[in-house]
Amino acid sequence: MSGTESPKRIAVVPAYNEAPTVAAVLERLHPLVDELVIVDDGSTDGTRGAIEDWLPGHDRARLLAFDQNRGMSAAYYAAFTDLTNRLGRDELSAGDLVFTVDADGQHELEAFERLHAMMVAQDLDALLVRRDLSTYPWHKRLGNWLVSAWASLWAGRRLQDVESGYRVFRLGPLADALRYYRGYKYSETVEVAVVLCRLGYRLRNDELVAVPLYRSRTSLTDAAIDLGAIPLAAARVWTRRRAVQPAT
């Protein structure tokens, strides 16, 4: 895939009950991108209102909103499917860059330009930021190490922080990967990583970025779901790859 032409920058921000932080994150992110897609699904704390108050005057941003909460993976699936459909209509290009950024302020936007430059200079298909988890409690770090090690086994290569939601994808590979996973709860991050690796895309997961603040809402159950989702994602690529590949 060529990385030489100037790609569009699109950010996808999933937001669930992030009223205190979401507007500040969007305000900071908006000047960095050509397009901003926010997905609020069924927040109960005023997140929707905070986004709607922020939207006027930010014409490159749009909101996808669900009335019932469907989980982070469903939010990404909706946004990525929308982008994939626009790729199919030639409104976007396979080389365009899709950034994913959390709405809680945990993703250091200082790194944004550096991540873009790495994608282009190294002609990467995906860059999953490795978060500096040194401020996290030991059990979170251990859990992250275990899930990443398990994912590495199934991906066929070492992944350092497979649970990271701070990522950059080329739209073409992302649209391709989307044919092999949907995600449940938080599993989107681990599934897309394993699928992209199994499909042979060029991916990095070793670029370390600081996390400005610690906050955690994920549980042991979420980690268990991810552990189960990883081999299933790899198996889907093995069993369905031939079936979904266009005939040559």
Q: Which is nearer to ligand GTP, 51 or 237 (CB)?
A: 51
Asked if residues 76 and 12 have their Cβ atoms less than 8 Å apart, the reply is: yes
Q: What burial letters (b/e) apply to 142-157, b meaning 16+ CB within 10 Å?
A: ebbeebbebbbebbee
Residue 139 or 241 having the CB closest to ligand GTP: 139
Nearer to ligand GTP, 182 or 202 (CB): 182
CA distances from 189 to 24, 141, 193 (A): 24, 17, 6
Site string for ligand GTP, 22-41 (x = CB under 6 A): -----------------x-x
- Binding segment for ligand GTP among 9-17, 191-199, 230-238, 239-247 (CB under 6 A)? 9-17
Query: Residues 64 to 93: which contact ligand GTP by CB under 6 A?
Result: 69, 71-72, 75
Q: Which is nearer to ligand GTP, 93 or 218 (CB)?
A: 218
- Point out which residues bind Mg ion (CB under 5 A): 102, 104, 106
Whose CA is closest to 60, among 11, 22, 13?
A: 11
Neighbouring C-beta atoms of residue 114, cutoff 10 Å: 12
Number of other residues whose CB lies within 10 A of the CB of residue 243: 7
219 interface partner picked from Mg ion, ligand GTP, none, CB below 5 to 8 A per type: none
Going by C-beta distance under 8 Å and a sequence separation of 6 or more, which residues neighbour residue 139? none
Contact residues for ligand GTP (CB under 6 A)? 14-16, 18, 39, 41, 69, 71-72, 75, 102-104, 106, 165, 216-218
